[in-house]
Chain A
């Protein structure tokens, strides 16, 4: 703790804090142009300079930690003069196109120019012609760019694409794609978000609306379980008063969005007259044997479905949530806690991370960004256990452990043995690990002593360790035993475990609904999934169309075990689940009347009124949205099954995983997101499957066939190809690796 004063106010700095950070924490204003809280200081604008008593010259506040007893002055005539001079320089030759610039009204340059009263330009530099660059979803206008470097820092330090850099050249400096002619990245659009001026903009939004006309609706992203905060920006779209979402923005100072969150906002549902008749849905439900539903719903919808189940005595089927629930229950029976321990903040703080059973970069970009942050800021070492190496993670992964598909149980056992080798274990577990047939497991899984030895070299100095486990495991035939092993790791090692729920509300649904096994025969009502009678916000051909997640009030439960509110960005003209429930005699005025009953349904939730839930980040970035689930103790059961014989995946094997920016039927529906639905495989795969790049094929998975074009991907290695699922309805109880047949389509 360092004590000093800022403008005569006594303040205290925590370890690692800079003068600027302390000032902000105490609410003392220091102007900045290039500072962004979530990265290392860019230190390019120099406006945050302050004076320190007894020190000649100015001291930069953004990257200088204070020393004991100094007296800092944040404003003086001299500082004001120099800051004004810097603003004068920023304004030299800056195009006077504020009238049409996307950023006008929310532009840092505009604001600071006003703040420092720069009314005229008294000197100039020779102007230069600079071409606007079109990089797919992003446009870059170098003449508007003030080279603050925020975009470059964020892309590298938080996102991990490292796709842009500064081409330094004094006055000619620009932002350029790194080592490439055009921008080749995951198009998260964070560069657009952090750009303080109109240099980096969304190419589709450009020139379509003024910032001040757009109404901001705070919401939670609907595409994966990361629960990223965002704001839908809405305005009328024509003369008839129709509203449209024009763009999505985020509080980029502290949080991130991936491209699906940012560009994939137009998934709102529209009901035709015949799709608005609630009574038909009621009839269908009354004769139904089961409701099959997706986890892309709110907690409140989940609770209503549970009530309908109770009322009508039908079954509730959601294999995504049921498998997750089983997994978590088994995990809890070993860990002694109902929920996993880690969250995204924990990942960001880590200096050692194991990723296991997930293609995390695309499964959950929020987790990816947390790993990137840990890697860059803390130098975290990352061991990635998977059958397929992911090129997106090359800059952060320090050890790729190529394991055989299907051998997750064996790897989990070996991993648990390794991570628990210095822990004091109960006798049952000691005996269990002693009796493991390591030779066999190592031979079959391809993971062994050598890999763990390398990992322990990397992790030697680590103090904050995290294990991230994901969706490959949930539908694994041995999921329960895998979960149990991970549970023991959390209980007995210094690793904190993070389990990545698949869909936006898998965790919430798994806690709120009593779920049944799939029904073989019988009449099925589908809710956001296909059924004999379909109620859906995804499917335009549904029997009844209900509002999508950007047309609803309610809450979802994120990977951070946080219950997050989301709001209505666009009105929905039609029927919602609550209307149907009311007709069934389950009466509540609004869907959000169920928010305060969530705690009664499951004790992890709280009984809180929807309207009292906050939906913003604190001034210093604290996540105060909604509330955290309560994690409670459960009894531990030490019995654990022997590892079964490990399966072999020979021949043509595919892995079900979506490409960047795609997650589900919502993202599949949007206009801006690319719909790359090819089967991607390596050269080795192409040879084994006897197919060529660009060839049309049919993927035969036994119970379903999918038409695909095969794409040869030079970044991929190994014999497993990647099959997207966003454009096909695929049962979530399929293990993600599958042997398949490939048939060539005769053209």
Chain B
């Protein structure tokens, strides 16, 4: 919150005109009063209003520049009649007034065109660009009239103020990778699937993957929710990727790969973060070597996410797309501390993207690794997926430890208990069903509502359909074994006790409610942690309190210069899209660092962070100009009997007709934000 001279942001009316600075009121919003370490902002102007942090702002020039960005940000616009001509006229007239050549009629026409654009434009840019301009014309009418009547230029017409603008949208802002969502949906609506894919790939190389297994935080920030239901954003992403694959078009990269600049970067880990970093670094003409410990590429999405959710054939297309950019992959290479010391010498930068591949314990009595039937989720899923997707057999020692009758994970006749509540645990139970388990339990400390919030409604619902029994408000109290072979579990029951002080309700164990479950396997999937054995101790890399690599969350450099980190090893176990977003940013920072030795962010990135703080989506905004009540399309899923004993993809995706209908619901909520410094 900062003091402002004037603000109409989101309907607030702060007017400190004529008051001394000490008496200025504070805005209720996280406005970017300070642009970066070096620069204060003079003004912030955007879709929702305008805020001045300085009394000396040339508001006419500010309005004209804002209109000019609308012209410049043409990659997003120029697609409707009111916007195309109206936008140009707004700028021409404002600039005319600012030059000191305006007439009263221009002032009137500005209002007329502005209000026409607000009603008739195709997208929110056209509808909202006039908002702050009209605000300024209302509240600073005198300044405008002075310029018009006295035929003189605005006060800093030729000043050295710089204006930095950024295009955004509520969904783009909420997406950790800031994917141009309205852009790729427009591609679907226009049946230009190549354009759709290129819009996605600007910031997200894993289009097939994130069209399938993204938890889509964007949909929680979809403005269409204010009207009826959010757009099915995630699934529409598949269309472009499938188009490219189905028609064998070769990879459509949204940028041209730059010629080699003679710089080298090593990346540790070929999961979503590593792949993303590699893609955007390679595009910048940097030679990239990616080191992967596993015999296959793709990280957790390859060996963690099951085939029925993310067919490897499709993921491989995303991986090939990264390869196509010219990236060198080294498989079966578990990086050591010595490697890292060497990499630091041999490469211009190192990006650690090693993920979190250690299953955490459930913390119960008698929890011992050596008990047969006690099986960490990561290791369990590794062997399931390596066999199902790549035909890699489970080695003898694992077979023996986990009492497997064959060379793959076959649980026929077995009872499996999984402890978890997140995506990984869902994968475990549903893979167990597919591996033939007789009975599968999911033990979760909290309730149904929370498990749905932590995963998705579909995921939970489908698991229930497949016969998984969910035991809520439960936890494993004790493991009971016979000669190191798992026999049964003692389960504690909990209840939610409301906090008398109105705080969060507490889980309290119900005494005497313990019961037992006989089972063959206990698979802890409570969370994962990172394995950092490969980091040289003497580097003393700074860690977060939850044992991940510490960065400032903006440039992704660790405490050691030239060593960067992105994805789960930085953030802790999180989503693919989060890993992609971090790695994309890290790649951008690294691409400049290897050339200049400096850590910098682009204006685009600085604005991105400002807007994230401010929040673009406003769930209370009233949406006008759209017919409410058009239902969100739901894609066809395999019936439970068709899917539960095999690995066929469960979600069949939209038909073209469904996809187009869904795309037509998108309101193209692009906005322009601009800072004057």
Asked if B81 contacts A59 (CB within 8 A), the reply is no
- Decide: B657 and A378 in contact? CB cutoff 8 A: yes
Residues from chain B with a CB closer than 8 A to the CB of A381 are: 246
B109 contacts A59, CB within 8 Å? Answer: no
Chain B 629-672 near chain A by CB (<8 Å), digits 1 or 0: 11000001000000000000000100111011100100000000
Chain A residues whose C-beta falls within 8 Å of the C-beta of B192 in the assembled complex: 156, 162, 165
Q: Are B624 and A147 in contact (CB under 8 A)?
A: no
A424 within 8 Å of B (CB atoms) = no
What residues on B are CB-neighbors of A146 within 8 Å? 81
Give a binary string over A89-106; 1 marks a CB under 8 Å from any B CB, 0 the rest.
110100000000000000
A63 within 8 A of B: yes
Surface stretch bound by B, among A48-56, A356-364, A621-629? A48-56
- Which residue on chain A has the smallest CB distance to residue B88? A171
A458 / chain B contacts, CB cutoff of 8 Å? 246
Among B74, B105, B116, B652, contact of A82 (Cβ-Cβ < 8 Å) = B116
- Whether A40 and B189, one on each chain, are in contact in the complex, defined by CB atoms closer than 8 angstroms, is yes
* Residue interface bits B76-91, CB-to-A below 8 A is 1, else 0: 1111111111111100
Tell me if B44 counts as interface (CB < 8 A to partner A). Answer: no
Note all chain B residues with C-beta closer than 8 A to A85: 82, 112-113, 116, 120
When the two chains form their complex, are residues A397 and B74 in contact, meaning their CB atoms are under 8 A apart?
A: no
Q: Flag if B89 contacts A125 (CB, 8 Å).
A: yes
A67 touches B79 (CB 8 A): no
Nearest residue in B to A94 (C-beta to C-beta)? B85
Is the CB–CB distance between A168 and B89 below 8 Å?
A: no
Instruction: Give residues of chain A (122-171) contacting chain B, Cβ–Cβ below 8 Å.
Output: 122-126, 146-147, 149, 153, 156-157, 162, 165-166, 168-171
A173 touches B81 (CB 8 A): no
Between B84, B88, B246, B622, the greatest number of chain A beta carbons within 10 A of the residue's beta carbon is seen for B84
0/1 per residue, A15-36, Cβ < 8 Å to B?
0100000000000000001000
Q: What residues on A are CB-neighbors of B105 within 8 Å?
A: 122-123
Q: Which of B601-630 contact A (CB under 8 A)?
A: 622, 624-630
The answer to whether B627 touches A70 (Cβ under 8 A) is yes
**A247 lies within 8 A of chain B by Cβ:** no
Contact A171 B71 (CB under 8 A): yes
Q: In the complex the two chains form, is A44's CB within 8 Å of B80's CB?
A: yes
B8: CB under 8 A from chain A? no
Given contact pairs A46-B82, A126-B92, A378 touches B656 in the complex (Cβ within 8 A): yes
Q: Which chain A residue lies CB-closest to B193?
A: A376
CA distance A400 to B248 in the complex (A): 10
Whether A89 touches B82, Cβ cut-off 8 Å, given contacts A58-B120, A126-B92, is yes
Residue of A44, A156, A376, A394 near B81 (CB, 8 A) is A44
A166 to chain B, nearest CB (A): 7
Alpha-carbon separation in the docked complex, A114 to B87 (Å): 25
* A678 beta carbon closer than 8 Å to chain B: no
Taking a contact as CB atoms under 8 Å apart, the answer to whether B624 and A56 are in contact is yes
Determine whether B563 belongs to the interface, using a CB cutoff of 8 Å to chain A: no
Size bracket, chain B contacts: 35 or more
Q: With the chains together, A63 CA to B93 CA distance in Å?
A: 33
Query: B86 contacts which chain A residues (CB < 8 A)?
Result: 89
**Contact yes or no, B77 A170, CB < 8 A:** yes
A199 to B88, CA, bound (A): 21
Q: A173-B78, A398-B247 are in contact. Are A92 and B85 (CB under 8 A)?
A: yes
User: Are A46 and B71 interface neighbours, CB within 8 A?
Assistant: no
Q: Contacts A40-B189, A40-B190, A55-B628 given: A170-B88 contact, CB under 8 Å?
A: yes
Asked whether B82 lies within 8 Å of A86 as measured between CB atoms, the reply is yes
User: What are the residues of chain B within 8 A of A64 when measuring CB–CB?
Assistant: 626-627, 630, 664
- Decide if A379 touches B78 in the complex (CB within 8 Å): no
Bin chain A's interface residue count: 35 or more
Q: Is the CB of B656 within 8 A of A92?
A: no
Q: Are B85 and A125 in contact (CB under 8 A)?
A: yes
Measured CA separation A156–B81 after assembly (Å): 21
The yes or no answer to B537 lying at the interface (CB within 8 A) is no
- By the criterion CB–CB under 8 Å, are B84 and A173 in contact? yes
Known A-B contacts A64-B627, A398-B247; the reply to A170 vs B80 at CB < 8 A is no
Q: Which residues of A contact B70 (CB under 8 A)?
A: 170
B316 to chain A, nearest CB (A): 15
B85, A171: Cβ atoms closer than 8 Å:
yes
Task: Say whether A122 contacts B109, CB under 8 Å.
Answer: yes
Q: How far is the CA of A156 from the CA of B85 in the complex (A)?
A: 26
Residue numbers in A under 8 Å from B80 (CB-CB):
43-46
Kindly state whether residue B255 has any CB partner on chain A within 8 Å: no
Give the shortest distance, in Å, between B248 (CB) and chain A (any CB). 8
Q: Is B121 an interface residue (CB 8 A)?
A: yes
Chain B hits for A58, CB < 8 A: 119-120, 625
- Contact of B261 with A by CB under 8 A: no
Q: Which residues of B contact A59 (CB under 8 A)?
A: 625-627
Given known A40-B189, A56-B622, A153-B190, contact A33–B74 (CB-CB < 8 A): no
B1 within 8 A of A: no
Q: Specify which chain B residues have a CB less than 8 angstroms from the CB of A120 in the assembled complex.
A: none
Would A46 and B661 be within 8 Å (CB), given that A171-B85, A381-B246 are in contact?
no
CA A67 – CA B631 in complex, angstroms? Answer: 10
Given contacts A170-B71, A398-B246, whether A123 and B77 have CB atoms under 8 Å apart is no
A274 at the interface (CB under 8 A from B): no
Interface flags for A349-379 (1: CB within 8 Å of B; 0: not) read: 0010000000000000000000000001111
Among candidates B78, B109, B246, B627, residue contacting A123 with C-beta atoms closer than 8 Å: B109
CA distance A166 to B74 in the complex (A): 11
Determine the residue in chain B with the shortest Cβ distance to A34: B81
Task: List B contacts of A172 (CB < 8 A).
Answer: 71, 74, 78
A240 smallest CB distance to B (angstroms): 47
Interfacial residues of chain B within 87-103, with CB under 8 A of chain A in the complex? 87-89, 92-93
Partner of A92, one of B89, B627, B655, B661: B89
Contact A43 B122 (CB under 8 A): yes
With a cutoff of 8 Å between Cβ atoms, the chain A residues found around residue B541 in the complex are none
Our pick among B622, B626, B628, B660 for the contact of A40 (Cβ within 8 Å) is B660
A125 CA to B624 CA, complexed, in Å: 29
Encode A158-202 as 1/0 by CB contact (under 8 A) with B.
000010011011111100000000000000000000000000000
Contacts of A279 in B (CB 8 A): none
Residue interface bits B45-73, CB-to-A below 8 A is 1, else 0: 00000000000000000000000001110
Closest CB-CB distance, B223 to chain A, in whole Å? 14
Q: List 17 A-B contacts (CB under 8 A).
A: A40-B191, A44-B79, A44-B80, A46-B80, A55-B624, A64-B626, A66-B627, A67-B629, A82-B116, A85-B112, A89-B86, A123-B109, A147-B84, A149-B79, A156-B190, A162-B192, A170-B77
Which residues of A are interface residues toward B (Cβ below 8 A)? 16, 33, 39-41, 43-47, 49, 52, 55-59, 63-67, 70, 82, 85-86, 89-90, 92, 122-126, 146-147, 149, 153, 156-157, 162, 165-166, 168-173, 351, 376-379, 381, 394-398, 400, 458, 461
Contacts A40-B660, A90-B81, A123-B93 known; 12 new A-B pairs at CB < 8 A:
A33-B81, A43-B80, A56-B624, A58-B120, A124-B89, A124-B92, A149-B79, A172-B74, A377-B656, A378-B656, A397-B247, A461-B655
Q: Which 6 A-B pairs have the closest CB atoms?
A: A379-B656, A57-B625, A57-B624, A171-B88, A56-B624, A89-B85
